[in-house]
Amino acid sequence: MGAPAGAADLDADYYRAQQRIVRAAVDQAQAAWAQLNPRDASRSWDEQVRPQVVAAVEQAQERPAALAPLYIAGTLAAAGAVSAPLRLLVASAFVGLAANGLLLGALLDFAFGYYRRARLADVPETEARAIGLARLLTYVSTETADTARLALHVGSIVEPEVAGYERVVHLPACGRCILLSGRLYRYSTGFLRHPRCDCSMRPVTHDQWREDGANRSPQALFNGMTRAQQDKAFGKGDAAAIRAGADIGRVVNARRAVQVYVAGGYEFTREAITSRGIGRQLGELAKQGGRYRRSQIPRPTAAQLVNAVGSDTDELVRQLRRFGYFL
């Protein structure tokens, strides 16, 4: 599915506007945090710092909510469709709450809690302030971005021409976000994100939904990155495996935290080793509890294979294929 004419420029303009809003909120939060008085931290937080940060985030929430209908209308126009919302968005309705339903002040209190616990553990003041500030800025940037996505989500629901949305990934990005690049979702599907994620969504019309392909596949996005960007997003070993032809999805999914383990100084994964995955390809299937048989042959991560093989590209390709990293 190719992007409609003008959509790329519209995406870029909207993304830059979003980043300016996030940057302004972060700057205000950082300035407010500097007023925290270590001699009476709780009082200065309650009376000075928190009210200022809450006000900054509320302002940052309302601005992207107001932009959402304009962006949706522009995207539909670029696709040759007409914007005819069944209801109008009220930007102020998106203000004051965090994505998890907490009041903003209650969420921000967690950042102060990190600072306070650090001081109680005798962490030096400078380091404790840095710990609290890092958490505070994560909340501010994430909640601002979440509000923008929520407003787009709601705005898409009331547009009859919108069938769903495409995930738009902005570089630099992490491997898991890149893996989702260009994927289409029904408008009723929630938006997966991690803290400080700045991925966005593009409304997709019914006609676009019926077309094949995607605007920016993970592989296309990977190919457009510099080697340094690839290494940073995926890790040097996994990036090298992808450059050798391994499937991005299989490489990234193999690194799910709950699936990776280390044995004998080597890194392995339990991802997809059942008979429903690549277990048959690996061989030596056996029942070990659970519903499906599992391969008894340890499956190295893609990065482990890169490290083990070294500069022998042909052997690397053979090993990656052997352990299920090629489609």
User: What mean pLDDT do residues 56-80 have?
Assistant: 95
pLDDT in tens, 73-86: 999 999 999 999 99
Instruction: Check whether 26 has a pLDDT greater than 50.
Output: yes
Single-letter code of the amino acid located at 186: R
pLDDT in tens, 213-264: 455 689 888 998 999 999 999 999 999 999 999 999 999 999 887 889 999 9
Q: How many CB atoms lie within 10 A of CB 183?
A: 16
Q: What is the 3-state secondary structure (H, E, C) of the chain?
A: CCCCCCHHHHHHHHHHHHHHHHHHHHHHHHHHHCCCCHHHHHHHHHHHHHHHHHHHHHHHHHHHHHHHHHHHHHHHHHCCCCCCCCCCCCHHHHCCECCCCCEHHHHHHHHHHHHHHHHHCCCCHHHHHHHHHHHHHHHHHHHHHHHHHHHHHHHHHCCCCEEEEEEECCCCCCHHHHHCCCCEEECCCCCCCCCCCCCEEEEEEHHHHHCCCCCCCHHHHHHCCCHHHHHHHHCHHHHHHHHCCCCHHHHHHCCCCCCEEEECCEEEECCCCECCCCHHHHCCEECCCCCCCEECCCEECHHHHHHHHCCCHHHHHHHHHHCCCCC
Residue 190 confidence (pLDDT)? 85
Spatial strand order of the sheet with 162-168 comes to: 184-186, 162-168, 200-205
pLDDT in tens, 278-289: 999 999 888 877
Which pTM was predicted?
0.81
Q: Would you kindly state where each structural domain of the chain is located, as residue ranges?
A: 7-218, 230-322
Residue 323 confidence (pLDDT)? 96
Residue 171 confidence (pLDDT)? 86
Percent of the chain with pLDDT over 90: 75
Residue 22 confidence (pLDDT)? 96
Residue 213 confidence (pLDDT)? 47
Spatial strand order of the sheet with 299-300 comes to: 260-263, 266-269, 299-300
CA distances from 218 to 61, 102, 175 (A): 30, 34, 9
